[in-house]
Amino acid sequence: MSFKNYTDELRRHYESFYGVAGKKLTWDKGPTNKLHPDFYVLEFGPSERHQMWTYVTVGMSMDRDDNNLIELITYSKNLDKSRVELLTLNASFHRNSEPLNLHHTVVVGQLTDFDTTCDHGFISLPYIEGEELEIINLNGREIHCYWFIPITEKERDYKIEFGCDALEDLFEEKQFDYLDEQRRSLV
């Protein structure tokens, strides 16, 4: 599969799902030369589907030949360019360090303009979107679009101790606001 075909098909998939054209964004700081040159993030503003901003990776796994074929999605209450940095850094980690996949946690650290108490991330199924967005079939290969949820260090530790199902149960039980990065830890 050509790289152009991969990014074009992903973009069509996302835009079909959201029903609007996404805005192509790139982050130009840091080690972006370690990413595939065709990688970018699409931004979707509030629409009939969601009253929030949505950011998705396009091409994070485009030249992988293993079973870690994923793309990431994250949400924000407001227009938030730091989401481009967040997704770009995770795409770089996925490509150059350790492959990311479902139920993995990562350290977010201090991003340029990401003011948050949630300094880690948890990769989950996109429950609010469903399989229609999650599973993308491209030339006989299945790519998964997973939800990158900002979490606190205590929530990450809870997941390590009790497992990913326990963390997701906690999210549901406490009805956490996944759009509030200033929220208190659920643990």
pLDDT tens string, the chain, 187 residues long: the values are: 455 688 999 999 999 999 999 999 999 887 777 888 899 999 999 988 889 999 999 999 988 888 899 999 999 999 988 899 999 999 999 998 889 999 999 998 655 555 668 889 999 999 999 899 999 988 788 999 999 999 999 999 999 999 999 999 999 999 989 898 788 999 9
Tokens of 20: 């609007």
Distances (CA, A) of 6 to 43, 156, 161: 18, 32, 37
**What's the burial of 121, exposed, middle or buried (CB within 10 Å: 0-12/13-18/19+)?**
buried
CB 123 within 8 A of CB 147: yes
Work out the burial of residue 8: count CB atoms within 10 Å of its CB; fewer than 13 is exposed, 13-18 middle, 19 or more buried: middle
Q: Is the Cα torsion angle 38, 26, 93, 164 positive or negative in sign?
A: negative
Say what the pLDDT of residue 119 is: 87
Distance of CA 31 to the CA centre of its chain: 19
Greatest C-alpha distance within the chain: 45
In sequence order, what are the residues at sequence separation of 6 or more whose Cβ sits closer than 8 angstroms to the Cβ of residue 140?
none
As given in the structure block, the two tokens for residue 43 are 């931004």
pLDDT at res. 88: 93
